[in-house]
Homo-oligomer: A and B are copies of this chain.
Amino acid sequence: MTQIRFALAQIDTCVGALDANAAKVLDYARRADAGHAQVVVFPEMTLTGYPIEDLALRRTFRRAAWDKANELAAGLKREGLGDLYVVVGTVGTDHATDKPYNRLVVLHDGVVWAGYDKHFLPNYGVFDEFRIFKAGDRSVVLDVDGARLGVAICEDIWQDGGPVAELAGRDIDALVTINGSPYEEGKTDVRLDLAKRRAAEVEAPLIYLNQVGGQDDLVFDGGSFVVDADGTLLARAPMFMEDLSFWTLDTTTVHQAKAEVAPALDPDEEVYTACVLGLKDYMAKNRFTGVTLGLSGGIDSALVAAMAADAVGGENVHGISMPSMYSSDGSKDDAADLAANIGAHYDVQPIEPLFTAFQSQLDLDGVAAENLQARIRGVIVMAYSNSKGLLAVATGNKSELACGYSTIYGDAVGGYAPIKDLLKTRVWELSRWRNRAAAAGVGIGGLRIVGNEAGAPGTPLKDGVMIPVASIEKAPSAELRPGQKDSDSLPEYELLDKVLAAYIEHAHGRADLLADGFDERTVDTVMRLVDRAEWKRRQYPLGPKVTALAFGRDRRLPITNAFRE
């Protein structure tokens, strides 16, 4: 009987941080060895971070990554970890063409022992790998203490054919896959179904090791797992946290033993946590310790502030109330209550004197005057950002951004937009979920998330309330003119969000939308709003581009697109 004990090292890497990533590999390798593992598996492009974009094209970087891999292999051996097989991802080079590879290597016995280059280079959605990397063209089977391990990298298992098809005939004992698979809602099941199919194809258990953490505009959710050839889920790591778990392969049996299986999360908890992790890691990796944002008393800024408090603590959140002559007393109270609930700094900066000063020179009316109010607020938020070294976060949601219901250089200012991928109805749902979690004792910072592995309850909230109920329940308004309501300009959000999902995410054309059962007037209104907003955004490509999540397909259309369906 041959048993191979695997350690699944689900870690959060940082792009370009070769030293820090290598140090983390060494740390987890020690812990894997202490847990008697023979093989420890890390995520895709462990040493370099992922995705590295055009950094892969810089020769100096590739040389440094290669040196780091060798130094790490030597260091492992020096510490007595030379027997361990350490499976990491890094960048390689094809010396004939000087093009980079997305490469898996095994560090063993002091050397960089074996290499496999990713075959399928995704360049759809958020991926751009075909632009950067050269494709590998051979499959690899590793002999590890008598067991035959096939390997593959991420997209290799999403496409038919290629290395998995080749491995199917080669009598492997397990298929080890290293992944950098960004979070999307519902993707957990999709990945698992895919892995079951590939495990059946190679007639062996499949190890799916995924990266965790926020990186630039993406969130990687972890949730690494092992699935048997018959489809049984044998082991699963938690989502959104770094983790080291163990699973043992027995090459003499067709039914493998189970290890620990982390339970699935509630859908609202999952999405909320993804948003918080995205913001937290964006700040950590860009060395920001605090955020600033405008607090209007509305639900969008309230939810973003709550997420920011969960990410970095309420004491690092600087909320600014910027009331105008059109702001209601209720809004001002709600903003103050929210700030108090999460323990944020809270300043009031009325914009009326500034608005009056501009108007005495410019004398604007209509939309220009409304935009002026939003832009004065943008200047104030950026002044806080510049003078206190805080990250400005934008509070726009997907519904209003899709419909152009925001002001560039105004409420759209910010380096990060945590809820850009949430439709308005989802903003309400997540706000209610966060209040329920608070009532159940999950205080600020109490989410199970990278950097807070214990998942402790966190700082308790006064009376268990986080987001004022009035912010959730009142009719949404931009408060840029007397009595203004979002519903003056937009369909009701319950309807609007359904049309937006069909039009944007499922690419339904006009005829499809009518066949979906939406009435003609609504369809034409929404299509007109979205097309015009896209056109404006392409003209001024300056709105919040950075997003926490890869929820929805973005349309990449030319600016001067004259085509109308």
Contacts and interface: CB of A to CB of B under 8 A. Distances in A.
Contacts of A364: 383, 386-387
A372 B379 contact: yes
Given A380-B362, A383-B364, A562-B14, A53 B556 contact: yes
**How many copies make up the complex?**
2
Interface in A528-546: 535, 538-543, 545-546
Contacts of A416: 539
A383 B358 contact: yes
A69 to B, nearest CB: 15
Given A354-B358, A409-B409, A413-B409, A53 B130 contact: no
A371 interface: yes
A562 B17 contact: yes
Nearest to A564: B16
Interface string A354-397: 10011011101111100110011011101100110001000000
A51 interface: yes
B18 A563 contact: yes
A61 to B, nearest CB: 6
Interface in A466-493: none
A260 interface: no
Nearest to A16: B563
B357 A361 contact: no
Interface string A230-256: 000000000000000000000000000
A: interface residue count bin: 35 or more
A404 interface: no
A349 interface: yes
A35 interface: no
Nearest to A540: B415
A346 to B, nearest CB: 15
A376 to B, nearest CB: 7
A463 interface: no
Nearest to A284: B560
Interface string A486-519: 0000000000000000000001011100000000
Interface in A108-165: 123-124, 128, 130-131
A190 interface: no
A406 B387 CA distance: 17
A263 interface: no
A54 B561 CA distance: 11
Contact of A560 (B15, B361, B372): B15
A261 interface: no
A316 to B, nearest CB: 17
24 contacts: A14-B560, A15-B561, A20-B562, A49-B562, A52-B558, A55-B557, A57-B507, A60-B565, A61-B565, A349-B362, A353-B357, A354-B357, A358-B379, A362-B383, A364-B383, A368-B383, A368-B387, A371-B383, A372-B383, A375-B382, A382-B409, A409-B413, A541-B545, A546-B559
Interface of A: 14-18, 20, 49, 51-55, 57-61, 64, 123-124, 128, 130-131, 215-217, 282, 285-286, 349, 353-354, 357-358, 360-362, 364-368, 371-372, 375-376, 378-380, 382-383, 386-387, 391, 408-409, 413-416, 507, 509-511, 535, 538-543, 545-546, 555-563, 565
Given A362-B380, A362-B387, 5 more contacts: A49-B562, A60-B565, A64-B563, A415-B540, A542-B545
